[in-house]
Amino acid sequence: MTRSRRAIALATIAVSMAALAGCSASAVGSTSGAACAPEDIKLIGQVRNETNPYEKSWLDGGQELAESLDLEQKRLTYAGESPKQLEQIRQELSTGNPECMVLNVLPNSDSDTTPIVKAVEEAGAHVVTQWNKPADVHPWDGYDSWIAHITYDGVDSGYQIAKAMFESMGGEGNVIALQGILATAAAKDRFAGLELALEEYPGITLLDQQAADFDRTKAFDITKTLLTKYGADVGGVWAANDDMALGALKALDAAGLAGEVKVVGIDAVPEAVQAIEDGAITATVSSDGPWQGGIGLAMGYCALTGELDVTAQPNKNREFFAKQFLVTEDNAADYLTPSIDLADFDCANVFNRVDKALG
């Protein structure tokens, strides 16, 4: 599939359906009833920061999709500051033509999702949110511009990495846990997965748990403190993401314990996957950051060009757990270089990774 072929094909569909060269309220196929010429569509990806390699891979995936469509993706980062995130979005919505704008957004916390989607709804733009939202708020609850919410089964991923670590410890020993941002569903669910695994392995004891906010530096500092407190009693470090796992690994190295203490994380960033290959980390879970970065933009693009009628989709396609994959030494080589398959973003394929509905 070439860039020009796909862009031209979708442009032809949009023109034939809507007879437009821009946006109109009379066309069909999108959540708001508007359709846009492909070249008029503005793509925006927003994450906390690009120092986190997983979040950088998200924006890289969005850029690769954008380039395949002869478009650009605007990369926004808000440094984990909720007011800044919302202000960035409002600023974008106030410029240009929001009716031809697609945002693929990582809300900073569950409570940030509602004001984000309300701002997008008011401006007439389109948005896909990922990871965080209140459990009782849904895209089909009166929102015309909220295309979908995508997340991953955090309980399952937290459980999978815990089980892999416990098995590597022979089912016996003590562990410490590094939680993420406690106001997010991802952090809560992943820790719940750890707790489930602990119930199944009575020989494993959780010595301590601290919130390191998905941040490598905080994880390094906290792990140093906990190693000082518990010393050689620590046999494993469970981390709610790879960035924290890598911070813990650095602290273990500084304490002369690298290779003696098991470490697990989530995200399958290249540095962590390489550490799995090298035997320094036991396991991680891939949610496929590059795919996440592209899929939200692809959904919006297909809706705005008239090739995807979002309102005709069942609820399970508008709010879902996407497929995820456990990465261990047995398959780490397959995950060393994150990449995307542009076929995943064809309009007929955008729901191919729906694993199960939320709840």
Q: Is the pTM of this model over 0.85?
A: no
Range of the domain at 31: 3-152+288-321+338-357
CB of 38 closer than 8 Å to CB of 301: yes
Is residue 292 located within the same domain as residue 144? yes
Q: In whole angstroms, what is the distance from residue 344 CA to residue 354 CA?
A: 12
Return the H-helix or E-strand segment holding 165: helix 154-168
Classify residue 10 as exposed, middle or buried by CB count within 10 Å of its CB (0-12, 13-18, 19+).
buried
CB of 185 closer than 8 Å to CB of 132: yes
Write down the residue that tokens 């590059």 correspond to: 290
Q: In whole angstroms, what is the distance from residue 167 CA to residue 326 CA?
A: 14
Which position has the higher pLDDT, 7 or 309? 309
The pLDDT of residue 263 is 98
Is residue 239 located within the same domain as residue 263? yes
The residue among 208, 193, 206, 203 whose CA lies nearest residue 170 is 203
Tens of pLDDT along 39-57? 999 999 999 999 998 999 9
Is residue 117 located within the same domain as residue 164? no
Is the pLDDT at 157 greater than 80? The verdict is yes
The count of residues in the chain is: 359
Band the pLDDT of 359: cuts 50, 70, 90.
low
Is residue 11 located within the same domain as residue 148? yes
Is residue 113 located within the same domain as residue 165? no
The pLDDT of residue 14 is 39
Is 224 among the domain residues? yes
Is residue 9 located within the same domain as residue 130? yes
Tens of pLDDT along 312-323? 999 999 999 999
The pLDDT of residue 96 is 85
CB of 265 closer than 8 Å to CB of 246: yes
Which position has the higher pLDDT, 16 or 356? 356
